[in-house]
Amino acid sequence: MNIVLVHGILGFRVKFGIEYFRGVAEHFREKGLKVFAPILDPTRGIEYRGCQLRDQINAAFGTGTLDHASKTHIIAHSMGGLDSRWMLSPATPIKIQAPIRSLTTISTPHKGSPIADLIDHPELLSAFSTLPFGLIKNPLQPALDVLGISLDGLRDLTTQSCQAFSAKYVDDPAVVYFSVAGSGRPHFPEAAAAFLLLHRYTSAQTGQANDGLVTVGSAKWANFDQNTWTCDHGEEVGNNIDNLIMPPVFPWLAKYDGIVANVAAL
């Protein structure tokens, strides 16, 4: 089995000794799976990153990193799920050369993110005077600084942009699509410090459980796992943003094993 791990808007495989998908590739390789983790541009939009993803997967088959004789399954986090959907869609001009059997998205904002909506409409915060955003000049900046997220990249994740994207880039009927969502930690604090105000704003704005960036409702796509992951957006890939040295309590590797078990029979 081939596994492709597609990162979100953070553009790295390993940075300062920290893996984006912490320990996931090694964990799968120990089980005999072929694993490839592309590196996509951290600031560009879906189509640009989708082209990079397609070209890098094609190249991985050429070098033997991925096996032509095995089925290929994509696991994509956050924006990486939209990059993957673009690459797989019949509406995409240049198709990927190798067949992809499944795509599983983890907290991908298929319907957009209210946090991304704030980029061009900060006045939306005025309705939530009880939240202490006034203490921070730009309420998005602490999380953006920690994560290295570009405002330009986030614009593709607004509600309006994602609606237009889904209307144009329909799913490939030859690919099976699955999705899972993070719903935040089951205890206080509900998310790492960098996500906490964003988590509370999203809860107040939508009334939905969320992982600090993406609501459960937005993460739903095609075959959705109703058992949400009780963690924040960073913990979904094994990273505790409060302390990047220490892994989270959340059992992320077991969850990735569950994804592989789910697609193994396809």
pLDDT at 245: 85
Instruction: Quick: pLDDT tens for 210-222.
Output: 999 999 999 999 9
pLDDT tens, position by position, 67-110: 999 999 999 999 999 999 999 999 999 999 989 999 999 999 99
The token pair that represents 149 in the structure block: 């997220």
User: Cβ distance 255 to 229 under 8 Å?
Assistant: yes
Record the tokens describing residue 165, joined without a space. Answer: 């994207």
| Residues of the chain below pLDDT 70 | 10-17, 120-152
Which sequence spans correspond to the domains of the chain?
2-263
Amino acid 82: pLDDT: 98
**Which amino acid makes up residue 72?**
T
In the numeric block, the tokens 């999203």 are attached to 202
Predicted pLDDT of residue 17: 64
pLDDT number for residue 135: 43
Taking domain 2-263, whether its CATH number is 3.40.50.1820 is answered by yes
